[in-house]
Structure 1
């Protein structure tokens, strides 16, 4: 159990690092006219992700969940893969990556890195991590609850993000010349 607590705490530290990157990137985006959407669901997202970490530790300790090697090591590999995908997304988006939905008008969609194959690869990382991290040590209730709530939240989040990206991609008269979008 001690090593599992260490794993969950390592994920918590990683999340704090993400928030540091997001804060820096928020300043970058706002300095370039970035507009935030979806503020209403952001606190729920923070609570859900905090609850995931707390639930992993609480369920494992309180319900006496055992470590089942075959499941545990497979899920640990899933956690590592999710972290790798997440940081690939962060590196690919650079200063445009954020935990919030902030879109800088006039910038084209990123189509490199994992975005070459998936529209929202970071959310795949979140889903994998949310299922795998609890199951490393058998916390199946936490995995189930997080997955269900995350599915609802991601439905809201992706709809919000798509709307914000679509609005930013719509050419305004100031960005057009003779009716053609001049951003390309």
Structure 2
């Protein structure tokens, strides 16, 4: 039962994040921002939705018992959530699930963005392994990190080009 409570809490967290992203998108668009890469965004929705559905389908076939490894996975999960919040807080109003570009804006280089360009994508990759393992959904833990990498292969170049074009305009 505790596993399903955790699953629901993660879903609620993602729904709240979508609400924050929509508010941030509106705030940015009110200031002249625009969306880039809209064509691939639907695949993010599909993959992330299927991720949670796959866990829900696969988990009932597992024993779903807390074990020593479950405790360590849960600690790792909590750490990823703290890092995720740090990423989102560091971007503030500029955080979004879409690629929203603000002309005249500057690349955020605080928080984890001081050390790497896309720390939130790394966190999602870790989550796509850790969360299914918590639910003993091993097939999901194998498949979805691969799908995430495919999405990143498409998204990161689009995002980098869009951001680069805006900053080149300012120079």
Tell me the TM-score normalised to structure 1 length. 0.88
8 Å contact kept, 1:103–1:168:
yes
8 Å contact kept, 2:3–2:64:
no
**Which is worse superposed, 75-84 or 10-19?**
75-84
Cα displacement (A) at 1:68: 5.8
Task: Tell me whether 1:72 sits opposite 2:70 in the alignment.
Answer: yes
In structure 2, do the counterparts of structure 1 residues 118 and 65 end up closer, same or farther at CA, with 3 Å as the change threshold? Answer: farther
- Following TM superposition, the consecutive aligned residue runs of length 4 or more in structure 1 with deviations greater than 2 angstroms are 63-68
Unpaired segments ≥5 residues, structure 1: 176-180
Cα displacement (A) at 1:14: 0.3
Equivalent residue number for residue 148 of structure 1: 146
Q: Distance in 2 between matches of 1:162 and 1:81?
A: 27
Cα displacement (A) at 1:64: 2.8
In structure 2, do the counterparts of structure 1 residues 110 and 53 end up closer, same or farther at CA, with 3 Å as the change threshold? Answer: same
Tell me the TM-score normalised to structure 2 length. 0.94
In angstroms, what is the RMSD of aligned CA positions? 1.3
Equivalent residue number for residue 90 of structure 1: 88
Structure with higher Rg: it is 1
Q: What is the aligned residue count?
A: 171
| Structure ranking higher in helix proportion | 2
Q: Distance in 1 between matches of 2:62 and 2:118?
A: 36
Unpaired segments ≥5 residues, structure 2: none
Task: Tell me whether 1:48 sits opposite 2:50 in the alignment.
Answer: no
